[in-house]
Amino acid sequence: MALSRDVLELETRSLSGEPTLSKAYEILNDFWQNGNRDRELGLHLMFISWYGIVEPAHLTGFQNNAETARELNNSLAAVHAAFEPKIDNDPEMLYAFGLAANMFCFMFENPKEWERISIEYRRRYRELEPDGIDVSIFSNRGAYGAYYAGQAVIKNGY
């Protein structure tokens, strides 16, 4: 499933400073709550949930409160749980989840577990992609793609 044009447009607008990620989250989360477990949808929902946890409201559009943080943490954990059984041979998923946890596990619920995940996922993703993830896989994929492309160009980064 390709992401809806609405989601990609909202993500792209966020790159110009509009706090539209919360609106993209609502669309993605509705699909998720209705049983859609598409890989691309999951990657974007994970990214927006994570970004909403770690970045301020004026960038994301999310409310800055404990209830929103709890919802976003639950969303992040649910997406991870859905894909964890098949993540071992998926370098992009290992990279995306692992990098998010590596950078900000202290802001997640259960930070020790996320720290363990970040270490394990880096080890496994580097087994699959010893020279790092190919930045081109993130092209034309909204804010998710732009963020991870920016990270992937860092030589010997995560």
The SS3 of residue 131 is coil
d(CA 15, CA 116): 31
d(CA 135, CA 72): 27
The residue with tokens 């920016």 is: 150
What local confidence, expressed as pLDDT, does residue 2 receive? Answer: 74
What local confidence, expressed as pLDDT, does residue 72 receive? Answer: 97
What local confidence, expressed as pLDDT, does residue 1 receive? Answer: 62
What local confidence, expressed as pLDDT, does residue 21 receive? Answer: 98
pTM of the model: 0.95
Tokens representing 106?
């202290």
d(CA 44, CA 8): 10
Tokens representing 112?
């020790």
pLDDT one digit per residue (tens) for the chain, 158 residues: 678 999 999 999 999 999 999 999 999 999 999 999 999 999 999 999 999 999 999 999 999 999 999 999 999 999 999 999 999 999 999 999 999 999 998 888 899 999 999 999 999 999 999 999 999 999 999 999 999 999 999 988 99
34 Cβ contact partners less than 8 Å away, ≥ 6 residues apart:
none
Burial class (CB in 10 A: 0-12, 13-18, 19+), 28: buried
Q: Let me know: does 96 contact 49? Beta carbons within 8 Å.
A: no
Q: Let me know: does 24 contact 10? Beta carbons within 8 Å.
A: yes
Distance of CA 139 to the CA centre of its chain: 15
